[in-house]
Each structure stands twice: as C-alpha cells, then as structure tokens.
C-alpha cells in the first residue's frame, strides 16, 4: 500500500468517525465541531482526487461560511437537549430504515459508477515559446485568482465571518462566577427604541450667573 492509499484510508476513517459523532453527540456545539472535522477530511479526499477547486470550495464555503452560521445559530438558540431527545427511540426504526436505504444506494453508485473512471488530468496545458509543455497546477492557478483578482471579496468575507464568530460568543456568554456581565439575547431581540430613551418636556431654567446678572441690571435701572 502506497502513501496515497494510506492517506485515503486515514481521511476516510476520520471522516466516518466524525460523521458518526455528529449524530451521536449530546451537545449540539460538539456536533457542529465534528461536522467541521468531517468536511475537512472530505476536502482532503477531494484534493487527493485532483479536484482542487471542489476541495478549496468545500473549505472556503462550508467550513468558512456555512459552519460558522450553524455555530452562530446553535449558540444563539440555547437548545435544551432533554427536550430535543424526547421521542428519539420512538422514531429510531424509521430513521434506521431510511439510513440503510441511503447507504445501500450510495454503495451501488460507488461500485457501479466509479469503477472505470480515469485519473483526472489538468484542464489545460501551458506551452512556452519553444512549444514545450510547462508544469500546470490547478491549485496554483486557483490561489492566484483568489488572491489577486478576488482579493478584496475574500478579505471582506473573512472579516465578516470573524465578526460573526465574536458576536456569537459575546451574545451567548452565560453568567459566570468571575464576572457579572451576563447578556440575555432573548431580551435584546425584544427591545424597542421607545424603551431605551424617553423625552420629557421641562421648563427652561436659567443659570445662576445669568440670573444674578439680570438682578443687578434691574437694580441699576431702578436707581
């Protein structure tokens, strides 16, 4: 067994374990973290199959955006695990049957459809002035395109995702012993503008210095 086959089995084993932990974890945050691990292993398998664009897209789109959104939603909802797991074993036979059917279909497709697939080749060949073929890398071409022509969109997306992660952590910070800064997101989303500020009509008042000056002026006029 060569190194490529060994890495394939390693990525596959870790991905299957992470996928199993996604559906068996009691904590939804742990389930999302395991799903991130599963996606990262799938991206590694795509890279080994020379589908660099799909692997990088899986990392950038799913790991960078979708998983952050999932984490944001899970942390904001504050899911009660005991309520979610009510009736789990009641629907388990139906879920197991559907899972077995899906697994069987995937096995049939993999065994029948990918048995004669040729090794992936580069989409194009670069030639120099002498007509010699230059080495071509899909990963290098994609990276050059992302960090030259689409540099600002990539940086903006990264900043937005970072802000979303920090905001999710700040909004869901529970009350701890070492701090009294506890925020209830449910109260925050129900707040209204009229609850934060109220305008009160009051009579105009004069400063003491101005009143004294006016008193002296009145006394002089009487004299």
204 Cα distance to chain centroid:
54
Cβ neighbour number for residue 70 with a 10 Å cutoff: 17
Q: What is the DSSP letter of 127?
A: E
- 3-state DSSP assignment of residue 51: coil
Give 120-173 pLDDT, tens digit per residue.
555 555 555 555 656 666 667 777 888 889 889 888 988 887 887 787 777 766
**pTM assigned to the model:** 0.50
> What tens digit of pLDDT does each residue of 170-214 get?
776 655 555 566 666 677 777 777 777 777 787 777 666 555 666
How high is the pLDDT of residue 165? 75
Determine the Cα–Cα distance for residues 11 and 38; give it in Å rounded to an integer. Answer: 9
To the nearest 10 degrees (0 to 180), the angle between helices 3-24 and 28-48 is 160
Q: Which long-range contacts (CB under 8 A, 24 or more apart) does 115-121 make?
A: 119/50, 120/49, 120/50, 120/51, 121/50
pLDDT at 17 over 90: yes
Given pLDDT bands bounded at 50, 70 and 90, which one contains residue 50?
confident
To the nearest whole number, what is the mean pLDDT of the chain?
75
CA distance 43 to 109: 20
Lowest mean pLDDT: which of 42-46, 96-100, 125-129, 214-218? 125-129
Cβ partners under 8 Å of residue 214, min gap 6: 206
More confident residue, 141 or 43: 43
Q: Cα-flanking dihedrals φ and ψ of residue 104, to 5°?
A: -65, -45
pLDDT the model gives residue 101: 93
SS3 133: strand
């Amino acid at each position: 067994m060569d190194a490529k086959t060994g890495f394939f089995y390693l990525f596959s084993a870790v991905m299957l374990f992470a996928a199993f932990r996604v559906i068996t974890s009691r904590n939804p945050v742990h389930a999302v973290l395991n799903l991130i691990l599963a996606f990262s292993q799938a991206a590694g398998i795509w890279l080994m199959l020379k589908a660099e664009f799909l692997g990088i897209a899986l990392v950038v789109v799913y790991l960078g955006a979708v998983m952050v959104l999932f984490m944001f939603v899970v942390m904001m909802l504050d899911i009660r695990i005991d309520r979610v797991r009510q009736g789990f074993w009641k629907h388990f036979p139906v879920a197991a049957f559907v899972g077995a059917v899906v697994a069987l279909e995937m096995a049939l497709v993999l065994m029948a459809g990918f048995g004669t697939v040729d090794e992936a080749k580069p989409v194009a060949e670069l030639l120099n002035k002498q007509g010699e073929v230059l080495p071509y890398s899909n990963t290098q071409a994609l990276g050059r395109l992302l960090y030259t022509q689409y540099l600002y969109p990539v940086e903006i997306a990264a900043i937005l995702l970072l802000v979303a992660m920090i905001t999710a952590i700040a909004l869901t910070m529970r009350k701890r012993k070492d701090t009294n800064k506890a925020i209830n997101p449910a109260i925050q989303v129900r707040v209204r503008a009229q609850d934060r500020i109220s305008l009160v009509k009051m009579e105009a008042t004069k400063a003491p210095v101005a009143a004294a000056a006016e008193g002296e002026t009145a006394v002089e006029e009487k004299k």
